[in-house]
Amino acid sequence: MAKRLQYKYKQKIGDKGIKYLRDSKQKGSHRRASFLCPCGIIFESRIHHIKTNSIPSCGCSNPLKLKYIEGQLLGDFGLIYIKDITLPSKPRKAKFQCSCGKIFDTSIASVKHNSTKSCGCLQSQSIIKRQTKHGDSIRSSFLNYLYQAWAGIKSRCLNTNEISYPDYGGRGISIYPEWLEYIPFKKWILDNIGERPEDYSIDRIDNGGNYEPGNVRWANSKTQNNNKRPRRWKK
């Protein structure tokens, strides 16, 4: 009786780059094993078929023939195969469970090749992240008042179409360079003068100075009126 040939773990078998993993339970007289396809999928086949190249892959080269198991992970983003969609369509489609838990339909090939990474939730999260850096611009946000104060300062100092620009940017009042971005402004305000008291708004301590660290405070309307520069009367 011929001695049974031994294969090493991840030894390449055949000419298609398929790697041997381990022998499977014997089914009949044909020796079978688990193999690793170059695409990354583990599958089972007769060793003879791999050696003779009659089976060139896990089925990725012909995805219409490959069988998947319910609960099997496909691709690199945790998508779980549930079942094929019984439609005579190409490419072959199936139901998947996303990592967020949602069930959705897509092509199997797009999942295996990682062009489909989720049900769409990753894309939505990415868009929200790009468009919303802090969330304070949303009116319902707790710190929306701080965002509005910052936006008002920028507009008064930089926007020549702003009605109050002549009294601010027009007479040389500027904004601290780092505060052109909202986050540094927000951090300094909260760390140094805290949240706004009720019925208070942002004010410059030195009315002739710039919007900069050490020259801003929360003040009520009375304090701000007393801090205004004298009105120049026309002759």
Residues 210-229 pLDDT 10s: 999 999 999 998 888 887 76
For the residues 206-211, what does the mean pLDDT come to? 92
Query: pLDDT, tens digit, for every residue of 90-99?
Result: 677 889 998 8
pLDDT digits (tens, 9 = 90+) for 102-126: 999 998 888 888 888 888 887 766 6
With 90 as the cut, is the pLDDT of residue 27 above it? no
140 has pLDDT over 60:
yes
Q: Mean pLDDT score of the chain, rounded to an integer?
A: 83
> Where is pLDDT greater, at 136 or 150?
150
* Rounded mean pLDDT, 180-186: 91
pLDDT value, residue 100: 84
Q: Which residues pair with 202 in a beta bridge?
A: 218
Cβ count near 188 (within 10 Å): 17
pLDDT at 168 (0 to 100): 92
Q: Which pLDDT belongs to residue 214?
A: 94
30-60 pLDDT tens trace = 888 888 888 777 888 888 889 898 888 877 6
**C-alpha dihedral, 182 to 187 to 189 to 191, nearest 10°:** 180
CA 9 vs. chain centroid, Å, equals 38
Reported pTM: 0.44
Q: 171 or 139: whose pLDDT is higher?
A: 171
Residue 1 to residues 4, 31, 88, 156, 209, Cα–Cα distance (Å) = 9, 15, 49, 95, 99
Angle at 126 between CA 76 and CA 137, to 5 degrees: 160
Q: What is the pLDDT of residue 190?
A: 93
Res. 89: pLDDT tops 80: no
| pLDDT surpassing 60 at residue 139 | yes
